[in-house]
Amino acid sequence: MIFSTYYPCASKSYFQVVYYYIAVASTETLTFGIQNNPAYTEIDDVSVVSNGAQLLCNGGFESGTQVCWSGANHISTTSPHTGSYCYYDGVVGAPDYVSQTFSTTPGALLNISFWLQWTGNGNGVLTTVTISP
C-alpha cells in the first residue's frame, strides 16, 4: 500500500501525492480503492514515470472513457484537476476499485503521482492506493 486515508472530507481541494517505488516484476498494477459513504472521490492526472518515460495510458482520463483502466467506470467531466475529465466516484456501499497494469523493468525506479480531492460530508470515506506485481 502506498497511500491510505480514512474520512478525508475536510480537504475539499485537490492535492498531489508522490511516491517512489522500485519495480519488482516486468508488470506492475496500480490500484485505487474508493469507498464513499456518502461523499465523492475525484482522482486525476495519474502518472507513473521511469527513466523519463510515462508508463501509464490515459492517466488524466482525457479519453473520456475507461481506456487502459479496469474496474469501476466513473469517468466524468465533474470537477477535473486539469483537462476535461477525471475519475469521479460517488458510489455508496462496498469499495470500488479501478486499476491499470503496465510494463516495467524489475529494479527500475518508478515515480508515481496522482491528484486527489473529496467532496461531501461522509464519515465512511476510505481511499487506498496499492502497487503490486
Is pLDDT of 124 > 90? Answer: no
pTM: 0.94
Tell me if 113 sits within 8 A of 2, measured CB to CB. Answer: no
d(CA 108, CA 126): 30
How much is the pLDDT for 52?
A: 97
3-state secondary structure the chain: CCEEEECCCCCCCCEEEEEEEECCCCEEEEEEEEECCCCEEEEEEEEEEECCEECCCCCCCCCCCCCCCEECCCEECCCCCCCCCEEEECCCCCCEEEEEEEECCCCCEEEEEEEEEEECCCCCCEEEEEEEC
Using pLDDT thresholds of 50, 70 and 90, give the confidence band for residue 9.
low
- The predicted model gives 3-10 an average pLDDT of 75
In CATH, which of 2.60.40, 1.10.3470, 2.30.42, 2.40.230 is domain 3-132?
2.60.40
Encode pLDDT of 54-87 as tens digits.
999 999 999 999 999 999 999 999 999 999 999 9
Domain boundaries, given as residue ranges, for the chain: 3-132
